[in-house]
Amino acid sequence: MYGTETVSRSEQSMERIEQISSWLKEKNISSAFIHSKENVFYLTGFYTEPHERLMGVFIFQDEEPFFVCPQMEVGQARAAGWAYEIIGYGDHQNPWELISSALQKRNGQCLKVAVEKETLALSRAEMLQAVTNGAELVSAEERLNQIRVIKDEKEISIRREAAKLADYGVEAGAAALKEGIAEIDVVAKIEYELKKKGVQGMSFSTMVLFGEKSGQPHGNPGSRTLKPGDFVLFDLGVIIDGYCSDITRTLVYQNVSEKQKEIYNTVLQAETEALKMSKPGVRIGDLDLKARGIIEKAGYGDYFPHRLGHGLGISPHEYPSMSHNNDELLKQGMVYTIEPGIYVPEIGGVRIEDDVLVTADGAEALTKYPKELTVIS
């Protein structure tokens, strides 16, 4: 007997499976094999890291779907709410033989199979074609992206909690700052404090960078110690119930120069204006162009080397890409980051990043940690 929460997850899973089945009918595609852990989680409610072992969901136009996974994961998959057949296999078994039998039972000839082409290994693609008598493999990514990009009320509620904890992570990092402390020690403090709050894990490797190292957009925390006048860049996120948050804030330790103020205020203006532009119907690329234009006008265009942001959900980086050449339009329910930055090697860098939810008539920054220039004394 399932509990209420499990029943809810099961119903949600069924609805999402039905969306894929309807798409298969519309496009005259025989079936779909979805294997990535993120999309498996989205469709089944079960999140796991299978490592080298095969895991995936087979979906059909009319036949019952089935989920294949290691035998040791079957109980957890069922408890997560998957209501259909589960094919569990031991390490001594060939899962493709079990898959072949399951396909034959469904009496369907697989002429086309939708797969995640960007991530399906060639060896597994060959095995899939072997058990489907040479089916044509077509892309499932576009449809999966379209479904996942609009968050429902439950997903938004989880995202709010994840953003709140990301704010707390920056707060914990700021509280740990003192002259002579190493970047890696601040990372440890942040993650310890968040673990005490019960987070599932970090969205990605926590970044704490001091001084000139903050000028590395994706730098690696290490033994660099904090000195007066340093920029301090925090980039972190947490996973709550399978969903990620992602925040960046940049502070200054003790002393701030006029040049640092100029860089900071330019980035803040770019971030603020892009956030103001966010609402349904706006071209995604125009947000990047707006922020980039402000940074270029201030003379720092060459020091903003990346896109404005990215989609955010089960993965810390997902569809859509918030780049200047994206002609797609914002829709209510989308969640993405806005994170302009300026990185000057000899001075350091500033990045300000919020998680943004598109609402009916605008947008809301889910991350709330203050963005005004903060000098830690």
Q: What share of the chain is helix, strand, coil (3-state, %, to 5)?
A: 40, 25, 35
Kindly list the strands in the beta sheet with 238-240, ordered across the sheet, starting from the edge strand earlier in the chain: 201-202, 238-240, 243-244
pLDDT at 3 over 50: no
Mean pLDDT throughout 2-22? 78
For residues 219-241, give the mean pLDDT.
98
What 3-state class would DSSP assign to 141? helix
217 pLDDT exceeds 90? yes
> What pLDDT, in 10s, does the model give residues 294-318?
999 999 999 999 999 999 999 999 9
DSSP-based three-state secondary structure for 140:
coil
Please give the Cα distance from 106 to 213 (Å, whole number). Answer: 58
pLDDT of residue 5: 53
> DSSP letter string over 183-232?
HHHHHHHHHHHHHHTT-SEESS--EEEEGGGGGSTT----SPBP-TT-EE
CB 183 within 8 A of CB 205: no
Pair of tokens at residue 55: 């895991």
Task: State yes or no: pLDDT of 133 exceeds 90.
Answer: yes
Q: If you average pLDDT over residues 47-64, what whole number do you get? A: 96
What domains can be seen in the chain, in order of their start residue?
A: 4-148 (3.40.350.10), 153-376 (3.90.230.10)
* Tens of pLDDT, residues 162-210: 999 999 999 999 999 999 999 999 999 999 999 999 998 999 999 999 9
**Distance between CA 42 and CA 61 in Å, rounded?**
19
Using one digit for the tens of pLDDT, what is the confidence trace for 67-78? 999 999 999 999
pLDDT tens-digit readout, 135-146: 999 999 999 999
Distance (Å, rounded) from C-alpha 360 to C-alpha 341? 28
Averaged pLDDT score across all residues of the chain: 96
The answer to whether the CB of 320 falls within 8 A of the CB of 149 is: yes
- What's the rounded mean pLDDT across residues 276-292? 98
- Name the band, by pLDDT with cuts 50, 70 and 90, for residue 153: very high
**For residue 78, how far is the Cα from the chain centroid?**
25
Query: What's this model's pTM, rounded to 2 decimal places?
Result: 0.93
pLDDT at 8: 75
Nearest to 161 by CA among 245, 234, 41, 42: 245
pLDDT number for residue 1: 31
Sign of CA dihedral 182, 373, 337, 40: positive
Handedness of CA 12, 14, 16, 18 (dihedral sign): negative
Label residue 4 by pLDDT band (50, 70, 90).
very low
Tell me: the pLDDT tens digits for 37-49? Answer: 999 999 999 999 9
Rounded to whole angstroms, how far apart are CA atoms 85 and 53? 19
